[in-house]
Each structure stands twice: as structure tokens, then as C-alpha cells.
């Protein structure tokens, strides 16, 4: 299947399942200075502030973000083109300077290992990051989990937070096998993690499209624990689970179901869905210190608007950010934008009075004042 046909087929499936577009007044307000009617990539677009949006250029598909302790830098997962497994890297955003910075990674295995002691170190040249999660371990050390499509496994890194001199050291991994095709990961206080499985990786994509169009729940959530390995979360079968996060007490999961247009709240022990928010094509979800969920949501016409792989500049597809209360799952649209200087936000990360927006397609991170 060609890239064009693949993208069209997937988009067609999304269109069938998505139903109507934005309908509330907040959703219908396009940001001042945006360019309605612009679709796909746009070529060279300035990194100057536009419509209250600041841009930080020099990245390649900055799909997911995390705050490095100290608060002056963001950790960035730069992703290969979706479904390509092409290699890419981890980097940083220097917030004050507004510039991309590399982050040094020590790939030499050290003992004791984190993760599964039988898991083999990744092929560094194939490293292909996607979703990430940064937590503080019980021993006080900083642990970064990364979905790596190069080996289709979760990599464990130890982060040494030192501003511009921050470094990462590979500490281990865990590989689900079982034909997994993962998306995002959420670490747990007990040393385990949850990860979303979109669909079986070996399944031909036209078959995936047909299954999703028919409403089949071909994805789910894995839990990993050192003692038991990977186990499937009960009742977690869904239509392309995407972003995932956990409550501070680790008792509740929040999972974005991209092809079913919803974010669900799940009890960790039972797998029972305790609530949901209707969100069109939700990508990543972030939970803040107050328990609010920040959900990046795609609003582009999935049939007629898309961005080609390897395009120049940002992808300008329409998106919104939904903020939800994790207790009662009430929600509101807090930001909506279409056009320059950036679109197709895949993550919305609140930090220090601003909201930072990453994208799986494009050359920049953007930020706005927190609504």
C-alpha cells in the first residue's frame, strides 16, 4: 500500500467513526490570525510569534513532551514518520532561549538493570521514540520510559537533571512481543507501567482500516510488572488506544481512544470504565498537579486534509485542546486553532503559566499563555 493510499484509507476510517465536527461555540472560534482553509503542510513559515502563539523551531516531529526538573527545559521525543519506524531521537527545548538542544545518551548497559533482566539492549541506530513518561522512582531517581518502535519495546532511562547539561543513561527495557504495536506509556510508583497497544503490528494496514471501520476493538492496554511481565488490562479492548496517563495515587487510568472519539477513566484493578469525555480524535493526554487532564484533539477533515511525510515546516491541520476534570470527567475546550504558525498538536503540556504544544508532523514546538 502506498503512503498516499494508506493515509487516505486510515483517514476514511476516522471520518466514518468520528461523526460530526466541532459544534460548541468555543470549538468554533478559530484563533485570531489563523488561516481558515489552509490544509496540510505549508512550507517555510516564520518562527516569530503569531496570534499569541510562540514557536520554537529546529525539531523533527516533536510528538511528546515532559518537564525536566528545574523547569527550564523540556524533554522532547522526536518521532519518525508514523508507521515508518524510522529512527529519530530525544532532545530538549531550552525554554528561555527558545532553542532546541541535544541531550547526551549513554547507551552502555549498567547493573542492576531496570525493567526485564532478559530484555536485550536496543539497536541504537534504529532507536525510534514515540510516547514518553518521566517519573520519580521510589528511590528518588528520575526514570524516563520511552516507546521505541525500532525494537518495539519500552526503554528505561535514568535522567540526570542538570539544566543544559542534563543527560540520559540507558538502564534497561521490557518487550511485550505478542505482535504489539505501542503508542504511549505511563509509569507507576511501584516500578511498573501501562502502555497502549493500537493494533497487531503485523496486520496489513488495509485490514486494520477495515476492522476499525467496522467498529472492531482491536487494541488494548498492557500492564507490565517486574514479577509478572506483560498482562492485558481486563476489559481494555478498544478502537486504537492512544495517549495514556495515571492519577497521582495510581488507582485510575485515563486513556485516549482515538478512533472512538473519547477519553475514558478506568479503574486500575478492575478495568471498569468509570467515566468518559467525548473528544474528537484525542492524541496524548497529560494530567497536572491539580488532577486536570489536558487532551490534544485533532479536528482536521480526515479525508481531505493531511500532511505528507517529510514536508517542510509545520503541519497546519486544525486542532483543539480539551481540559477535563479527572474526578467527574466534565470538560471544556480551552484552545482551538487552525493555520499558521502550527497545527496538528499531539500533546498539550501545561508548565509555568504556559501551554506547550508538540506535533507528530512538523518542525516546531509551540506555546501559548495558559487559558
Statement: 3-369 belongs to CATH 1.20.1050.10: no
Tracing cell 498516499 back to the chain, one arrives at: 4
Model confidence over 168-223: pLDDT tens digits?
Answer: 999 999 999 999 999 999 999 999 999 999 999 999 998 998 999 899 999 999 99
Closest C-alpha to 81, from 129, 144, 19: 129
Residues facing residue 65 across a β-bridge: 76
pLDDT for 309: 86
Grade residue 360 by pLDDT with cuts at 50, 70 and 90.
very high
Residue 60: strand, helix, or coil? coil
C-alpha 80/C-alpha 62 separation (Å) is 9
Kindly report whether the peptide bond that precedes residue 213 is cis, defined as omega within 30 degrees of 0: no
Alpha-helical runs (H) found in the chain: 3-18, 25-28, 205-213
pLDDT at 289 over 60: yes
- What order of strands is seen across the sheet that includes strand 282-287? 282-287, 292-298, 319-325, 331-337
Beta 167-174 vs 104-106: how paired, if at all?
parallel
Sign of the torsion angle spanned by Cα atoms 329, 334, 338, 342: negative
- At 343 the pLDDT is 96
Give the pLDDT confidence score for residue 29 in this predicted structure.
36
**Which three three-digit cell numbers place residue 70?**
528545574
Q: Note the pLDDT tens digit of each residue in 321-352.
A: 999 999 999 999 999 999 999 999 999 999 99
Query: Taking all residues of the chain, what is their mean pLDDT, rounded to a whole number?
Result: 89
Report the Cα 222 to chain-centroid distance in Å. Answer: 16
Residue 304 clears pLDDT 70, i.e. is over it: no
Residue with cell 476534570: 325
What is the 3-state composition of the chain as percent helix, strand, coil, each rounded to the nearest 5? 10, 45, 45
Give pLDDT tens digits for 9-28: 344 444 334 333 333 333 33
Task: Identify whether the C-beta of residue 77 lies closer than 8 Å to the C-beta of residue 131.
Answer: yes
Handedness of CA 310, 316, 320, 321 (dihedral sign): positive
User: What is the domain partition of the chain in residue ranges?
Assistant: 3-369
**Spatial distance between the Cα atoms of 264 and 237, rounded to a whole number of angstroms:** 12
- Cβ atoms of 12 and 310 within 8 Å: the answer is no
Amino acid at each position: 500500500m502506498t503512503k498516499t493510499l494508506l493515509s487516505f484509507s486510515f483517514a476514511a476510517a476516522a471520518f466514518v467513526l468520528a461523526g460530526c465536527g466541532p459544534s460548541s461555540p468555543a470549538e468554533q472560534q478559530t484563533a485570531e490570525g489563523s488561516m481558515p482553509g489552509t490544509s496540510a503542510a505549508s512550507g517555510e513559515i516564520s518562527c516569530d510569534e503569531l496570534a499569541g502563539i510562540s514557536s520554537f523551531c529546529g525539531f523533527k516531529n516533536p510528538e511528546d513532551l515532559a518537564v525536566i526538573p528545574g523547569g527550564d527545559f523540556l524533554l522532547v521525543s522526536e518521532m519518525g514518520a508514523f508507521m515508518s519506524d524510522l529512527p529519530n531521537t530525544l532532545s530538549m527545548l531550552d525554554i528561555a532561549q527558545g532553542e532546541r538542544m541535544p541531550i547526551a545518551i549513554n547507551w552502555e548497559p549498567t547493573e542492576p538493570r531496570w525493567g526485564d533482566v532478559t530484555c536485550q539492549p536496543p539497536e541504537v541506530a534504529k532507536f525510534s521514540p514515540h510516547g514518553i513518561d518521566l517519573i520519580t522512582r521510589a528511590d528518588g531517581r528520575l526514570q524516563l520510559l520511552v516507546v521505541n518502535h525500532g525494537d518495539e519495546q519500552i526503554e528505561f532511562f535514568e535522567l540526570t537533571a542538570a539544566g543544559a547539561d542534563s543527560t540520559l543513561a540507558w538502564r534497561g527495557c521490557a518487550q511485550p512481543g505478542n505482535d504489539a504495536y505501542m503508542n504511549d506509556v505511563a509509569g507507576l510508583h511501584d516500578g511498573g507501567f501501562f502502555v497502549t497497544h493500537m493494533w497487531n503490528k503485523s496486520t496489513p494496514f488495509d485490514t486494520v482500516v477495515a476492522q476499525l471501520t467496522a467498529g472492531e476493538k482491536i487494541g488494548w492496554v498492557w500492564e507490565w510488572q517486574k514479577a509478572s511481565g506483560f498482562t492485558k488490562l481486563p476489559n481494555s479492548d478498544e478502537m486504537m488506544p492512544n495517549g495514556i496517563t495515571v492519577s497521582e495515587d495510581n488507582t485510575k487510568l485515563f486513556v485516549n481512544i482515538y478512533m472512538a472519539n473519547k477519553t475514558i477513566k478506568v479503574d486500575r484493578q478492575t478495568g471498569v470504565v468509570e467515566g468518559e469525555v467525548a473528544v474528537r480524535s484525542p492524541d496524548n493526554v497529560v494530567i497536572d498537579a491539580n488532577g486536570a487532564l489536558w487532551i490534544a484533539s485533532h479536528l482536521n477533515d480526515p479525508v481531505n486534509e493531511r500532511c505528507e511525510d517529510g514536508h517542510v515546516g509545520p503541519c497546519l491541520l486544525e486542532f483543539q485542546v480539551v481540559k477535563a476534570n479527572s474526578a467527574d470527567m466534565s470538560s471544556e475546550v480551552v484552545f482551538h486553532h487552525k493555520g499558521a504558525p502550527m497545527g496538528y498538536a499531539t500533546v498539550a503540556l501545561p508548565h509555568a503559566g504556559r501551554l506547550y504544544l508538540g506535533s507528530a508532523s512538523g518542525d516546531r514546538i509551540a506555546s501559548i499563555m495558559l487559558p
